[in-house]
Amino acid sequence: MKNNEKEVDIKKCKKCGCELASDTRGNLCLNCKKKRVNFWGLVGKGTLAVASVVLFLGRVVLFVVTRGKKGL
């Protein structure tokens, strides 16, 4: 690949490669920024779900272990 085309001062989105307005902050276009926010929102929710499952499993394991020690 050659990048020898005229060097124009156009920012491009890091993700989708679309042109950015010169006053855009960062390397992502609005769409990709929104997507990223959604992504992290989903990750947060997923983490919470996983955490609650882990907590639940931990309780079950503790329950089983304590029962086992009591010899029931």
- Chain residues in the site for Zn ion (CB under 5 A): 13, 15-16, 29, 32
The Cα-based distances of 21 to 30, 31, 35, 59 in angstroms read: 10, 13, 18, 53
The answer to whether 69 and 62 have CB atoms below 8 angstroms apart is: no
Closest residue by beta carbon to Zn ion:
13
Residue type, 69: K
State in angstroms the smallest separation of the CB of 45 from Zn ion. Answer: 23
Give the span between the Cα atoms of 15 and 9, in whole angstroms.
18
State in angstroms the smallest separation of the CB of 40 from Zn ion. Answer: 16
Q: Which is nearer to Zn ion, 16 or 48 (CB)?
A: 16
* 37's tokens: 């926010």
State in angstroms the smallest separation of the CB of 16 from Zn ion. Answer: 3
Q: Which is nearer to Zn ion, 16 or 43 (CB)?
A: 16
